[in-house]
Structure 1
Amino acid sequence: MSEKFWLVVQYPLKSENGNQRDHWLKDKVMEHLEISLADANLGYVDGFDRGKCISDPKKYALNIFCVITEEERGIALVKRVLRESRLDYTRILIATMPYGKEETYTLKYSYKKGITDFSL
């Protein structure tokens, strides 16, 4: 049995609940990732949350959570799907953490150079 990981795709939001486009984006990203992860037998989408960031209550984010079975292949697949589907790939952060363990997420991809920290 392979080890599992949590993978989170994070988009910045301008408000706590987001706008109509943010809601559309959430639905499309979840739909594309669910199909792609299932087709590749790499995992599934587990849900989402949106609202204030824990690390900075003045910032807001949309987090889409996935459970994946292979960390590197899962990250590569998510990046490719979001880029090819034109789902605001240039705004994302991707972080992972071992499944079933109370640890912190580790940033694995940032749309912008110089970002090293990640928080929900």
Structure 2
Amino acid sequence: MAIIRTYRLDEKNVLHFREAWFQQFEDEEVGQFVINHGSVGHMSTTSDVQDVNNDRADELFAGFMQACSDEGYAEIQDEDQSWVIVQYSLKSATGTERDRYLEKKAKEALTGHLAWRGLGTVESSDFAPRKLNIRILTPAPKLAVAAIKTCIREAKLDFTKMSIGTADYATPGKIKSVHPMPPKPMTLD
């Protein structure tokens, strides 16, 4: 399932997004074409076209891209985004079964919560000695941090054991702690 995601700043400096994807149903020749849009950081609005075949999906993607271009929307390159790192302190050096469960549940919760608000994508996760790192690529790091705190709290996923840091795309190892306050030193390893 390919997703095309575009953004634009309006005259009030508010970031908006539009994304489209084609989702084909299992063992069927047709699927649905979905368009999702809204202000970054807020729950989006979704519309879809049902019973779409591959050729029609290509036409809809072309029309979507043309409409986005006409209205000033463009894809943001990875280099123009930032990293947000969600980090959990672990009791063991390598992580327990419960820690792997936390990784799975946190990634699931964050993926949906951030995507429906245009706040980025969960790119990867890993275990470092006594740490779980979840990496998120986002065009709006401040808004993403606020949304992550809300998401993790609502999902009841050990909010008090979580730290959040941000970094430029080119230097993910130079993390600046932004939660909890006051900031503490933060590393990925």
Judge conservation of contact 1:15–1:51 (CA < 8 Å) in 2. no
Instruction: Report the equivalent of 1:95.
Output: 165
> TM-score when scaled to structure 2?
0.55
Aligned equivalents of 1:38, 1:6: Cα separation in 2: 15
Q: Secondary structure at the match of 2:174?
A: coil
Whether 2:184 is the aligned partner of 1:116: answer yes
Indicate how the Cα distance of structure 1 residues 63 and 88 shifts in structure 2: closer, same or farther if over 3 A, else same.
same
Instruction: Report the equivalent of 1:81.
Output: 151
Aligned equivalents of 1:76, 1:94: Cα separation in 2: 10
TM-superposition CA deviations, 1:39-86 (whole Å, max 9, x none) = 00110001111122xxxxxxx101011101101100000000001110
Q: Which has the higher contact order (CA 8 A, sep 6+)?
A: 1
Instruction: Report the equivalent of 1:39.
Output: 116
Q: Report the CA distance between 1:114 and its aligned residue.
A: 4.9
Q: Which runs of 4+ in 1 moved over 4 A?
A: none
TM-superposition CA deviations, 1:12-61 (whole Å, max 9, x none) = 11222211111110000000111111100110001111122xxxxxxx10
Where does the alignment leave 5 or more consecutive residues of structure 1 unmatched?
53-59
Aligned equivalents of 1:69, 1:13: Cα separation in 2: 29
Instruction: Report the equivalent of 2:103.
Output: 26
Aligned equivalents of 2:170, 2:128: Cα separation in 1: 24
User: Which letter does structure 1 place at the counterpart of 2:187?
Assistant: S
Superposed counterparts of 1:52-91, under 5 Å: 52=129, 60-91=130-161
Query: Based on CA coordinates, which of the two structures has the bigger radius of gyration?
Result: 2
Judge conservation of contact 1:11–1:92 (CA < 8 Å) in 2. yes
> TM-score when scaled to structure 1?
0.84
Q: Report the CA distance between 1:100 and its aligned residue.
A: 2.6
User: Which letter does structure 1 place at the counterpart of 2:146?
Assistant: A
